[in-house]
Each structure stands twice: as structure tokens, then as C-alpha cells.
Amino acid sequence: MTEKRYVAKVEMFVFETDDWAAEMMARSIAKDIAGKYDNQACVVEIRHQPFGSVKQGESIKLKQ
């Protein structure tokens, strides 16, 4: 049986002091995943999500 290619959308919480640090942490995690699995993992969007809130936070403009 041949392998099939899939796209998986993954969301996670990243805890940092500001928007820039959160983006850098997310990019670092994506880089680690891409290096381990050779799967082109990347950061597509970052949102602020306050504790205890189910409402989606505002999207943060990515720096890179």
C-alpha cells in the first residue's frame, strides 16, 4: 500500500510575555517539528487567548 499525504492543522497554547516572544516560541517549536519529521511545519497564525475565555482572541500580525 502506498502512503497518502495529509495536511494536519495543529493548535497549541504558547505562554510568553509578549507577542514577539510568543511568535518566536511558536516558530522554534515548528522548526523542531519540521527538523524531526521533515514535514514543512510552519506558523500560520497566532492569536491572543485570555485565560478562561472561549472566545477567539484577536489575530496577531506575524513579524517574519
> What is the per-residue pLDDT across 17-26, written as a single tens digit (0 to 9) for each?
999 999 999 9
| Residue 28 DSSP SS3 | helix
What is the chain's mean pLDDT, rounded? 86
Backbone phi, psi, residue 47, to 5°: -125, 145
- Cα–Cα distance for residue pair 8/41, rounded to 1 Å: 10
Per DSSP, helices labelled H in the chain are: 19-37
- pLDDT computed for residue 16 by the predictor: 93
Residue 14: closest CA among 53, 41, 52, 43: 43
Residue 10: closest CA among 43, 59, 58: 43
Range of the domain at 4: 1-64
Domains identified in the chain, total number: 1
Give the pTM.
0.76
